[in-house]
Amino acid sequence: MDRPFGLLAELTHACPLHCPYCSNPLGLAHVRTELTTREWRRVLTEATELGVLQLHLSGGEPLLRRDLVEIVRGADALGLYTNLITSAVGLSPRRAEQLRAAGLDHVQISIQADEPGLSDRIAGTPSFGRKTAAARLVKELGWPLTLNVVLHRHNIDRVDRVLALAEELAADRIELANTQYYGWAWHNRAGLLPSRAQLERAEPVVRAARERLKGRMEVIYVIPDYHSRYPKPCMGGWGRQQLTVVPGGDVLPCPPAHALPLPRASVREHSLAWIWEHSPLFRRFRGTDWMPEPCRSCERRELDFGGCRCQAFQLTGDAARTDPVCHLSPDHGIVAAAVRAADEVTAPRDDVLVPRPHPGRSG
């Protein structure tokens, strides 16, 4: 594939939640530096010219952008399939009707747990009731509904009840995605990483639900990188399939790549086509020529592309190293030690989690 098919548009870093696993950068963009409506319209036009078909509107909380309806309307006019990725806090019936009329195609709502007490504690604010009400509203308006649940030590033992909630809400799809340890989640890793015993309990529950719900609800389950034998490919390979545009206009091959010591690329300075094809950022880890051993001679090199560059940098200080998740990596002991520590903890502890701060509302 020589063209991207998906664009993740992070419209703002502002968010009403304080999730301890937030993967947004530690230094969040201020609302005054966010791309304007006109700039986003230009970016979306350039994206369609580049071949993008799917637009995922995210943040932070995209509903905090007052021009969200206008952005959706412009994307619809360009023929983009639009997906709103939201906490659903602020998805009022009036706003939902406006987005429906503007052409929004799909809604994905984050759910922290299956019951109010735990959900609100994880989110750092009372939100469970508003989320479930918004999910019902989404179905009433005829949208497909995806629920996204970030799994970790504090909620993975309740995955059966999370799935029951998804059934009750008539979700079309549920993503059970274990925490990725970037951003604020990295600081809370010791309190979030589940034990092997927790995974062994959760996985048969998910398998049974996937079989039982076949044809009614798609169940996606992503195990934690740290517990895998091989790493997952970075977004299908660095700079191969998708782009991310962050609130201030920087373009990234994947959302956490802002942390890497690489030249930046911004839509305020270059076109999306130039960034995709020629920028040092996108060319740096594209393909396989950059790979060290053991990746260079590994038969899986075009399956997982050496794993996650951001994770390699996070754990070793060198983005070109083999992802330490891989059991063949010379640095695998770093991950193995983290897993052993998680296995030694017998119960979740709320007091070790630090909630994520966030900037103010978008203008």
CA pair distance 145, 107, nearest whole angstrom? 5
Give the position of tokens 């079989």.
211
What is the DSSP secondary-structure string of 192-229?
Answer: HPPPHHHHHHHHHHHHHHHHHTTTT-EEEEE--GGG-S
Q: Which residues sit in the known binding site for [4Fe-4S] cluster?
A: 15, 19, 22
Task: Measure the N-to-C terminal CA separation of the chain; round to a whole number of Å.
Answer: 38
Torsion of CA 102, 108, 109, 110, to 10 degrees: -140
- Written as one letter, the residue type at 331 is D
- Written as one letter, the residue type at 104 is L
With contact defined as beta carbons under 8 Å apart, do 273 and 4 qualify? no
Phi, psi of 78 (to 5 degrees): -85, -5
| 329 sits in which H/E element | none
What ranges in 213-305 are assigned the alpha helix state H? 272-278, 280-283, 301-304
Q: Which residues sit in the known binding site?
A: 15, 19, 22
